[in-house]
Structure 1
Amino acid sequence: MFARITGAATRGILVALLIAMPSMLLPVSATESPEIIALMAILGGVLTFAEYFSNYPSFVEFREAPPLNRMRYVAAFVMIGALSLLVRHSMDPTGLTTLVQTYGTRLGAALDFAYSPVQLTVLMLPTETPTDSLQMVRSAAGIAYVVSALAIFGFILAIRIGNWPVANGAFNVWVNLPLFDPTTGGDVVTRLQRDGRINIILGILLPFAIPATIKLASGLIDVSHLTAPPMLIWVIAAWAFVPASMIMRGLAMLRVADLIAQKRRAVYAHAEALQAA
């Protein structure tokens, strides 16, 4: 019980820290509505604590199948932290912000080629956007996209080399996929494969579709507000993290489907061996 409480509390604190990080790193002048941010951080921490303290899953997937959620958290932490330091550089430059800004500029320039997600993200801004803001968006998009790609690559290594999730023991579908009902909708393996492929396809397309959607909606919303420091951090982070998380979820579901299929083949082979004997 004590270990469960400690683990749940630690996770809740880490989630609250993640939500509050931009406000903690940015200068006070750039922080908007700190009371709302503090409330959201507390709410996120409480929800995370309640999820991991409970014996019964509710909405967090793969909570008993590390390191998937840990890799997601690390990716989000690095992404939001780096973007916060990048935005802070224009207001309160330090040695660390200069380092982030330098690498961000290089990554943004390298990934800003024709029809790339980074280029589409820059093009979604109004033509009258200042050059400094365009450069910041390009650098932020480059950093976020590289971090998300590294997270996906790391999870692929965990599957191929680390033998995820078998290396952690038996995989409980109900605990790790609480929103997936294995009793409805046909064969479980087929449904997992279908859902996994859909998640991967959507994850690949979203970095292209989100900037296009925002550009089309520019007549309804003021896109220039996206360059405001807190908004820039969260929009770029969501633009990169959500698709990466969907791809990782799709890979995980395909892996689970493959394990179930392997288990079935082993059971069938054992039954045939018994009949032949």
Structure 2
Amino acid sequence: MNTVMRLTGAVVRAVLVMLMVATPSILLPDVAADTKQMVALIALFLGALTLVEYSATYPSLIEFRHAPPFNRIRFLSIFLTVLVLSLIARGQAEPTKVSLLLEILGGMIGHAIDFPFSPVRLVLLAVAQDAGDHVDLVRTAAGLSYLVSIVMLGIFVLHLRSGRWPAPGSRFNVWVNLPTFDPTVGGDVIYRLERDARVNIALGFLLPFLVPAVVKAATSGIAPVSLANPQVLIWTMAAWSFLPASLFMRGIAMGRIANMIRVQRRAAAAEAEARGAELAHA
């Protein structure tokens, strides 16, 4: 029964991943046949990887497999980002009320966070600015991407603060949920988890600033990066906003795990001390 449920869940996750990858090609008009074939190939590959990871008994790459809703929030974040950016890009050729509403909302947020040395300003400086409309579209996409990422990060923090992550009464298996983290080497596990948590949070904070600066420096003396292609714009902005938020979530989660292990150690030490006292008085 458990095997059937695990396989069913893996299939559903694989289908959702493929749908997410194919969303821009489905929604955007006039997508070239070669582009559709490439997107279909990538979607099949990622879907197969997801199916294998979630149907296997033992973990390999994907973290927090048995600690919902961590991965669900992350997936919902990237899926919503891709969806809203695809609707905005489609609205450039076939405007609708939804696309216009999203464009207005994204434009308001983009202008609000477009100030000197902000991540949005750095992105605008790193891309081609040969057309005012194109710059406005990049700013709008950046604003909406940031909004989705911040909302999803806030939802995870609320789950954490309310004591619903990890789920009350559940056992958190470090090996299953952190398959690339070996708790048996490299010193005390609490120290390593806290160190990795700080590194992930720091990278999550710096990444929106570093990526545009690195792109600008790498393309110095040559044509700047152009986001005129809607699919390039969608995936660039989605990755630019999703990766920092994902690193923030990972860092916060690892800090939470370190604190859980510390509390368990204290409880075990207190229990052992109480038992020792009982034996001493016996």
Structures share a fold, TM > 0.5? yes
Counterpart amino acid of 2:137? M
Corresponding residue SS for 1:28: coil
Native 8 Å contact 1:204 1:243 kept in 2? yes
CA deviation map 1:101-136 (0-9, x unaligned): 11111111111122221121112124x420000000
Aligned partner of 1:68: which letter? F
- The structure-2 alpha-carbon separation of the partners of 1:15 and 1:29, relative to structure 1 and needing over 3 Å to count, comes to closer
The residue that corresponds to 2:47 in the other structure is: 45
What are the within-5 Å matches in structure 2 for residues 47-126 of structure 1? Answer: 47-126=49-128
TM-score, normalised with respect to structure 1: 0.96
- For the residues of structure 2 that align with 1:194 and 1:116, how far apart are their CA atoms? 27
Deviation of 1:203 (Å): 0.4
Give the aligned length. 276
Aligned positions of 1:176-195 closer than 5 A? 176-195=177-196
Whole-Å Cα distance in 1 between the matches of residues 43 and 172 of structure 2?
31
Distance 1:219 1:45 in 2: 37
Contact 1:65 1:168 in 2 (8 A): no
TM-fit CA distance, 1:5: 1.6
The answer to whether the 8 Å contact 1:192/1:254 transfers is yes
Mapped partners of 1:227, 1:247: distance in 2: 30
CA distance in 1, matches of 2:85, 2:275: 60
Distance in 1 (alpha carbons) for counterparts of 2:258 and 2:186: 15
1:244-264 CA distance string (max 9 Å, x none):
101100000000000000000
Equivalent in the alignment of 1:267? 268
Structure 1 match to 2:199: 198
Q: Are 1:152 and 1:248, in contact at CA under 8 Å, matched by a contact in 2?
A: yes
Q: Give CA deviations for 1:158-191 in whole Å, capped at 9, x if unaligned.
A: 1111431142611011110000001110000000
State the distance in 2 between where 1:225 and 1:117 align: 17
Give the unaligned 5+ runs of structure 2: none
Task: Give the structure 2 partner of residue 244 of structure 1.
Answer: 245
Indicate if the aligned counterparts of 1:165 and 1:171 stay in contact, CA closer than 8 A: yes
- Alpha carbons 1:31, 1:230 under 8 Å: kept: no
Contact 1:125/1:223 (<8 A) preserved: yes
- Taking structure 1 as reference, are residues 77 and 221 closer, same or farther at Cα in structure 2, changes over 3 Å only? farther
Change (3 A) 1:105 1:71: same
For residues 29 and 13 of structure 1, what CA distance do their matches in structure 2 show?
A: 22
Q: Is the 8 A contact 1:113 1:119 kept in 2?
A: yes
Q: Does the C-alpha gap of structure 1 residues 95 and 211 become closer, same or farther in structure 2, counting only changes over 3 Å? A: same
Contact 2:126/2:216 (CA < 8 Å) preserved in 1?
Answer: yes
Asked whether the equivalents of residues 137 and 227 of structure 1 are also in contact (C-alpha less than 8 Å), the reply is no
| Counterpart position of 1:145 | 146
- Structure 1 residue 62, shift from structure 2 partner: 0.1
Aligned partner of 2:8 among 2, 6, 9: 6
**CA-CA distance at 1:273 after TM superposition:** 1.2
Larger Rg: 2
CA–CA distance in structure 2, aligned partners of residues 221 and 32 of structure 1: 27
Q: Which stretch of the first structure deviates more once superposed, 245-254 or 162-171?
A: 162-171
**Whole-Å separation in 2 of the counterparts to 1:13 and 1:147:** 22
More displaced 10-residue stretch of structure 1: 12-21 or 143-152:
143-152
